[in-house]
Amino acid sequence: MPLFLAGCLRQPASPARHFRPLFKKKPICNKLAFGSLFILCLYYYLLSFYLSVINQTEYNHKVKNIDERHGVFLVKLRIREEPAAGIDVGLPVTQKQAPASLTTYMKRQIIPAWQGQRNKIRQNTLSIQKRHKMNKRNTLLGGILAFMVLMTVACGSHHQESTVADSTQTDSITVVNERVAVMHDPTSNATIIGLQDKATEQRVDLFKGSYNDSLLAALIPGEGARSAINVFLVKFPDGPTVLFDAGIGGEEGFMSLHQMKPEEVDAVCLTHLHPDHIGGLLAGEEALFPNATLYLSETEKTSVSQWDQYSPLLATWNKIQKAYAGRIETFADNAALFDGKVQSIPAPGHTPGHTLFRIGQCLIAGDIVHSQDLQLEHPEFCARYDQDPTTAVATRKEILAYVQSNHLQLCGAHCYEMFVSPK
């Protein structure tokens, strides 16, 4: 019974993990559970007590009726034995049935029948009362047992939460659906919401020639590797609300996934200036986020001068600069943003000014990996999107080692899982 209850109070955290408490970080659920248990036990206890009282009352009523009925019968017998009283009682006993002696008749038939009926009622009543007594006892014992089991599970859950919070915080992640996941970071006390802008696939030929094509074919036997385009919305308790990258844009993008109004975003931090990271900044020709300031690396902004003046990307960036005129800020490498709540980390290779952002135990990783299944295990593989493959591989190895040693959650812009713990 305790094992069954403990099992019912636990649920899988993710396909790759064991179990975690159902009421984790939800004290209101614990209060409701204990309150409901107490009310249920009290209800059954009072019900058993009420039925016991009703049964005793019914017993007294039946005995009283029998006593009255037999008492009237005895009175009638006495009147029949003394006919001089001149009362016609209409006794349904014939002369042949009536005994010669009233005393003998009472001792042999009336009193035994009377006592027999009383004893029968008494036995039935005692049986019912015994059952009610057992119900009250079992209800009380069951309530105590359930309370002890729930307390044990709650204490174990609290210990587990404390242990996990000190290591990787994996149990602080809630996967809402395939496109939304939420993480509460205990270090910064921030809520980090991962939003999938679009599900995509990275073609295998993007990685060919970068490392080992035979291994590549064995690891990804199909034509493409599962991927995505993600953005991350971070809410600090005392502000600001910061969006990291803006996706590719469009009606089916991340803005349709979360109950968020564009004017609620205070800042947008850009890892780099590729179209799948800045396309969602515009609504037509206008700024989608009317109150937001854009933040990007000074190195990344300077690299725009190297772009082809006829490229569509440059035209998009020019529209963004016009829409967000006066609201674009740059920062140096390793800068602390928003009063130290966000730490920038340079990660060159993909682009010259490619930048990652650390918030507590979470690392917004931009395009440090393009294929989660391939590059986390084999960082030597490089996608053709990386402008400087040699530097990109070295940066990827360094960042993955940094994530592992600090037990961080990797939030990749192209990982199909919003929060990843590299092994």
CA atoms of 26 and 366, how far apart (whole Å): 32
Query: Could you tell me if 206 and 355 lie in one domain?
Result: yes
Query: Could you tell me if 81 and 154 lie in one domain?
Result: yes
Predicted pLDDT at 144: 74
**pLDDT tens for each residue of 53-76:** 666 676 666 666 666 555 555 554
Last residue of a domain, one of 112, 141, 165: 165
* 125 has pLDDT over 90: no
Domain residues for the domain of 242 are 170-412
209, HSE (Cβ side, Cα atoms, 13 Å): 4
Predicted pLDDT at 30: 58
Cβ burial of 406 (10 Å; 0-12, 13-18, 19+) is: exposed
Report yes or no on 401 lying in a domain.
Answer: yes
Query: Could you tell me if 161 and 184 lie in one domain?
Result: no
Cβ neighbours of 230 (radius 10 Å)? 27
* 121 has pLDDT over 70: no
E-state strands within 160-252: 173-177, 180-185, 190-203, 224-235, 241-244
Mean of pLDDT over the chain: 78
Report yes or no on 417 lying in a domain.
Answer: no
**pLDDT tens for each residue of 23-50:** 344 445 556 666 776 777 676 667 666 6
* 135 has pLDDT over 70: no
Closest-CA residue to 155 (of 261, 277, 163): 163
Predicted pLDDT at 69: 59
Query: Could you tell me if 176 and 119 lie in one domain?
Result: no
Report yes or no on 375 lying in a domain.
Answer: yes
* Mean pLDDT score, 186-193: 94
Query: Could you tell me if 140 and 176 lie in one domain?
Result: no
Query: Could you tell me if 104 and 147 lie in one domain?
Result: yes
Report yes or no on 421 lying in a domain.
Answer: no
Predicted pLDDT at 9: 41
Query: Could you tell me if 120 and 211 lie in one domain?
Result: no
Dig out the tokens for 390 from the structure. Answer: 């040699």
Domains of the chain: total:
2
* Mean pLDDT score, 401-422: 94
CATH number at residue 357: 3.60.15.10
Closest-CA residue to 140 (of 8, 50, 48, 53): 48
Query: Could you tell me if 137 and 199 lie in one domain?
Result: no
Report yes or no on 419 lying in a domain.
Answer: no
Report yes or no on 418 lying in a domain.
Answer: no
Report yes or no on 199 lying in a domain.
Answer: yes
Query: Could you tell me if 216 and 323 lie in one domain?
Result: yes
Query: Could you tell me if 157 and 180 lie in one domain?
Result: no
Last residue of a domain, one of 148, 165, 182: 165
CB 330, CB 301: distance < 8 Å:
yes
**pLDDT tens for each residue of 240-289:** 999 999 999 876 678 777 777 899 999 999 999 999 999 999 999 999 99
CB 373, CB 423: distance < 8 Å:
no
* Mean pLDDT score, 398-405: 96
Lowest-pLDDT range, 99-113, 198-212, 395-409? 99-113
Query: Could you tell me if 212 and 177 lie in one domain?
Result: yes
pLDDT band at 5 (very low <50, low <70, confident <90, very high): very low
Dig out the tokens for 300 from the structure. Answer: 């990344």
Predicted pLDDT at 291: 96
* 81 has pLDDT over 50: no
Quick check: pTM over 0.75? no
Q: What percent of the chain has pLDDT over 70?
A: 61
Rg (CA), the chain: 40
Cβ burial of 19 (10 Å; 0-12, 13-18, 19+) is: middle
Query: Could you tell me if 141 and 186 lie in one domain?
Result: no
Predicted pLDDT at 39: 77
CB 75, CB 106: distance < 8 Å:
no
Dig out the tokens for 5 from the structure. Answer: 């209850």
Last residue of a domain, one of 165, 200, 228: 165
Report yes or no on 396 lying in a domain.
Answer: yes
